[in-house]
Structure 1
């Protein structure tokens, strides 16, 4: 598996799935009217993050991301996920 395929798999099968699950949770909070002023702002930010990852995935599929950048992105994703687990 190339580094590009590894990143594509990580984004498609882990990152976007986790983001979509979180968006669903935020919508449930809003629908149940248990949200506060921060919930809608957080939803907006998470939706923007999802869009950014989808654009990154498109760039990756088109070969616009080189090996080094893929490695950096993978490291950043692992760091983000590690920080989320620590919170």
Structure 2
């Protein structure tokens, strides 16, 4: 498996699922009328992040991300996930 395949797998099987779950939680907070402006901003931020990762998957499928870039992205994602 190439590093690009590993990155695509990480995005599809972990990162995007986690983002979708969090977006669902934010929608539930908003639906219960307990939201504040920060919740809405967080929702917008997560939706933008989801789009960025989906675009990254398209770039991977098109062969537009080389091995070095894929490795750097995976390292950044793993750091982000550790912080949460």
Give TM-score, length-normalised by structure 2: 0.98
Number of aligned residue pairs: give it: 84
Alpha-carbon separation, structure 2, partners of 1:3 and 1:37: 39
Cα drift, residue 33 of structure 1: 0.6
Q: Which runs of 4+ in 1 moved over 6 A?
A: none
Q: Where do 5+ consecutive residues of structure 1 fail to align?
A: none
Cα drift, residue 12 of structure 1: 0.3
Compute the RMSD of aligned alpha carbons: 0.4
Structure-2 residue corresponding to 1:4: 4
Equivalences for 1:1-87 in 2 at 5 Å? 1-84=1-84
Deviations 1:21-73 (CA, angstroms, capped at 9, x unpaired): 00000000000011111001110010000000000000001100000000000
Moved more, 68-77 or 33-42: 33-42
